[in-house]
C-alpha cells in the first residue's frame, strides 16, 4: 500500500474525530478541510507527473462539475458576496475529493480496506456517543451537558463554533416530560451525527455478512452499537432515513438469494426485538410524535417548508446566491446563526435556484443508480450497502441540511465515488 493510500485511510478514519484549529479570534478551521485540500493537491500532482488522471463517466462528471460551477457563479447575484464566497470556499475544500476517491476506490483491495476503516471509525465514534449518553443517568444531565459543551466540544469544534452550539437547545430533547441529552459524540449536533451513523450502518452490516464467522460477529456487534447510538440521537429525520434505507438493504437481499435468508432471519429477529423494545420506550414516543399535528417542532418545520417553497416559486432560476437565504429570512442574521429550511432540497433551491437543485439531484441520482446497477450485476452486498447508505442520506435530507457539514459532505462524496467506480 502506498503512502498516499494510507493518507486517505487516515482521512476516512479521522472523519468522526476531526478537531478544529483556532488561528485567530472568531475563526475556527476544521483540520479536515486542510487535509482534504492537501490530499487533492497531492493526487493532482501525482497524476500530472504520471500523465494519467482517471475521471468518472461523462454523466456523473457533468452533474458534479455543473453543480460546483453553478454554485460558484451564484456569487455574482448574491446579496452578500462575502457569505457566498465563504460557502464556495467550503465546497471547493471537499468537492475535488470526489475525483480522488473515484480514482483510488477502483482497486478492489483498497476499496475493502477503505470501507473497513470508515466503518471502524463509525463504530468507535458510536461507542463514545453511548458512553456520553449513558453517563447522564449516572452524573445527571446538567453536569454531563456542561462538561461536554465546555471541555469536549471546544477542542473538536473550536471555541467560537462550540459557543454557538451551546446557545441552541438541539443537544437536549424532551421525552415524556423529561429532559435528555442526545447522543452526539464529537459532532456539533445530533442530526449530523445521525446522518453519519445512518450512512455508516449499512456498510457495517455488509461487512458482518461478508466476513468469516469470527470477524462476522465483531462487525455484527459493531452494527448494534452504531444502531443504538443512532437511535439515541432522537433524530426523527434519522429514524425516517433508517426505515427506508434498511428496507432498501434487506428486501433485495432476501429476494435475491436463498443463501442469505437464514442470516437475514437471524438479523431480522434481532432488529425486530430491538425495534419492539424501542417502540415501547421513550424512543417510540419520539418517533410517534413525528406524526403529531400538534407537535410544536412539526408545526414550525411545516412553516419553514412553506416559507422556502414560496420563495423558490418566486425566485426559481437563481435563488438568493449561496449562503444568502438566512439574510432573506432575517436581514440582521449572523453568519453562524442556524437559519435554514430544514430540507436540503429546498435549501439548495432557495440559494441556487431550481437549476442548482437539478444539477445536485442529478449527481446524487446517478450515484444511487450506479450502486443499484452494480448490486444487480455482481450481487456483492457492499454495493447494496452503498445504495442503502445513499437512500438513507436522501430521505434524511428531507428534514435537515447536511451539505455544509465537514463530517457529512466528504462521506457523501465517498459513497457516490464508490458507486461510480
Across 309-334, average pLDDT: 89
pLDDT band of residue 180 (cuts 50, 70, 90) is very high
Give percent of the chain with pLDDT exceeding 70. 89
Cell of 160: 467560537
Check: CB of residue 421 under 8 Å from CB of residue 102.
yes
pLDDT band of residue 271 (cuts 50, 70, 90) is low
Beta strand 178-181 with 172-175 is antiparallel
Query: Is the pLDDT at 285 greater than 70, yes or no?
Result: no
Tell which residue, 180, 183, 174, 48, has the closest CA to residue 129: 183
Tell which residue, 242, 226, 234, has the closest CA to residue 183: 234
Check: CB of residue 214 under 8 Å from CB of residue 114.
no
pLDDT band of residue 263 (cuts 50, 70, 90) is low
Across 189-200, average pLDDT: 96
Query: Is the pLDDT at 287 greater than 60, yes or no?
Result: no
Q: What is the pTM of this model?
A: 0.92
Per-residue model confidence (pLDDT) at position 329 = 86
pLDDT band of residue 377 (cuts 50, 70, 90) is very high
User: Helix axis angle, 236-256 relative to 213-231, nearest 10°?
Assistant: 150
Which tens digit of pLDDT belongs to each residue from 124-148?
Answer: 999 999 999 999 999 999 999 999 9
Across 310-323, average pLDDT: 91
90 SS3 class? helix
Per-residue model confidence (pLDDT) at position 260 = 60
State which of 244-248, 306-310, 391-395 shows the largest mean pLDDT: 391-395
Distances (CA, A) of 45 to 39, 97, 105, 260: 10, 14, 18, 44
Per-residue model confidence (pLDDT) at position 174 = 84
Which range is least confidently modeled, 33-42, 282-291, 332-341?
282-291
Per-residue model confidence (pLDDT) at position 274 = 66
Which tens digit of pLDDT belongs to each residue from 54-65?
Answer: 888 899 999 999
Q: Which residue has the higher pLDDT, 264 or 382?
A: 382
Q: Which residue has the higher pLDDT, 40 or 28?
A: 40
* Interatomic CA distance for residues 348 and 188, integer angstroms: 21
Which tens digit of pLDDT belongs to each residue from 251-260?
Answer: 888 777 656 6
Q: CA-based angle 197:168:184, to the nearest 5? A: 20
| DSSP states along 306-348 | HHHHHHHHHS-SSTT-TT-HHHHH-TT--TTS--S-S-HHHHH
Which tens digit of pLDDT belongs to each residue from 211-252?
Answer: 666 688 899 899 999 999 999 999 989 999 999 999 999 888
pLDDT band of residue 177 (cuts 50, 70, 90) is confident
* Interatomic CA distance for residues 411 and 195, integer angstroms: 10
Across 75-89, average pLDDT: 94
Per-residue model confidence (pLDDT) at position 134 = 95
Tell which residue, 405, 180, 379, has the closest CA to residue 283: 180
Per-residue model confidence (pLDDT) at position 124 = 98
Sign of dihedral through CA atoms 363, 369, 374, 380?
positive
Name the DSSP letter for residue 158.
Answer: -
Per-residue model confidence (pLDDT) at position 294 = 61
Check: CB of residue 417 under 8 Å from CB of residue 101.
yes
Q: Which residue has the higher pLDDT, 377 or 279?
A: 377
Sign of dihedral through CA atoms 197, 109, 261, 366?
positive
Query: Is the pLDDT at 22 greater than 80, yes or no?
Result: no
Per-residue model confidence (pLDDT) at position 420 = 92
Query: Is the pLDDT at 273 greater than 90, yes or no?
Result: no
Amino acid at each position: 500500500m502506498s503512502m498516499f493510500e494510507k493518507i486517505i485511510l487516515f482521512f476516512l478514519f479521522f472523519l468522526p474525530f476531526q478537531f478544529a484549529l483556532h488561528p485567530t479570534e472568531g475563526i475556527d478551521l476544521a483540520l479536515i478541510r486542510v487535509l482534504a485540500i492537501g490530499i487533492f493537491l497531492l493526487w493532482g500532482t501525482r497524476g500530472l507527473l504520471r500523465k494519467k488522471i482517471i475521471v468518472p463517466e461523462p454523466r456523473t462528471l457533468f452533474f458534479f462539475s455543473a453543480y460546483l460551477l453553478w454554485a460558484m457563479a451564484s456569487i455574482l447575484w448574491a446579496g452578500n458576496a462575502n457569505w457566498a464566497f465563504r460557502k464556495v470556499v467550503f465546497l471547493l475544500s471537499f468537492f475535488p475529493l470526489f475525483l480522488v476517491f473515484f480514482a483510488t476506490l477502483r482497486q478492489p483491495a483498497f476499496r475493502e480496506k477503505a470501507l473497513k476503516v470508515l466503518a471502524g471509525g463509525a463504530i468507535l465514534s458510536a461507542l463514545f456517543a453511548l458512553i456520553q449518553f449513558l453517563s447522564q443517568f449516572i452524573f445527571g444531565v446538567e453536569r454531563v451537558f456542561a462538561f461536554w459543551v465546555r471541555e469536549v466540544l471546544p477542542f473538536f469544534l473550536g471555541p467560537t463554533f462550540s459557543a454557538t452550539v451551546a446557545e441552541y437547545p438541539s443537544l437536549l430533547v424532551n421525552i415524556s416530560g423529561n429532559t435528555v441529552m442526545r447522543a452526539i459524540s464529537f459532532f456539533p449536533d445530533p442530526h449530523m451525527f445521525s446522518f453519519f451513523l445512518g450512512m455508516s450502518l449499512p456498510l457495517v452490516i455488509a461487512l458482518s455478512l461478508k466476513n468469516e464467522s469470527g470477524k462476522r460477529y465483531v462487525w455484527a456487534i459493531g452494527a448494534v452499537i452504531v444502531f443504538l447510538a443512532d437511535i439515541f440521537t432522537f433524530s426523527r429525520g434519522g429514524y425516517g432515513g433508517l426505515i427506508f434505507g434498511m428496507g432498501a438493504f434487506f428486501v433485495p437481499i432476501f429476494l435475491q438469494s436463498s443463501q442469505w435468508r437464514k442470516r437475514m432471519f437471524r438479523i431480522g429477529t434481532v432488529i425486530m426485538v430491538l425495534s419492539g423494545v424501542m417502540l415501547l420506550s421513550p424512543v417510540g414516543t419520539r418517533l410517534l410524535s413525528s406524526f403529531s399535528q400538534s407537535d410544536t417542532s412539526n408545526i414550525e418545520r411545516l412553516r419553514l417548508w412553506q416559507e422556502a417553497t414560496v420563495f423558490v416559486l418566486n425566485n426559481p432560476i437563481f435563488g438568493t446566491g449561496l449562503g444568502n437565504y438566512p439574510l432573506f429570512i432575517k436581514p440582521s442574521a449572523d453568519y453562524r446563526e442556524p437559519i435554514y429550511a430544514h430540507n436540503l432540497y429546498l435549501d439548495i433551491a432557495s440559494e441556487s435556484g431550481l437549476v442548482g437543485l437539478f444539477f445536485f439531484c442529478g449527481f446524487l441520482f446517478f450515484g444511487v443508480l450506479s450502486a443499484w446497477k452494480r448490486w444487480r450485476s455482481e450481487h456483492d452486498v457492499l454495493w447494496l450497502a452503498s445504495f442503502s447508505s445513499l437512500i438513507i442520506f436522501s430521505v434524511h435530507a428531507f428534514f435537515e441540511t447536511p451539505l455544509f457539514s465537514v463530517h457529512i459532505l466528504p462521506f457523501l462524496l465517498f459513497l457516490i465515488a464508490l458507486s461510480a467506480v
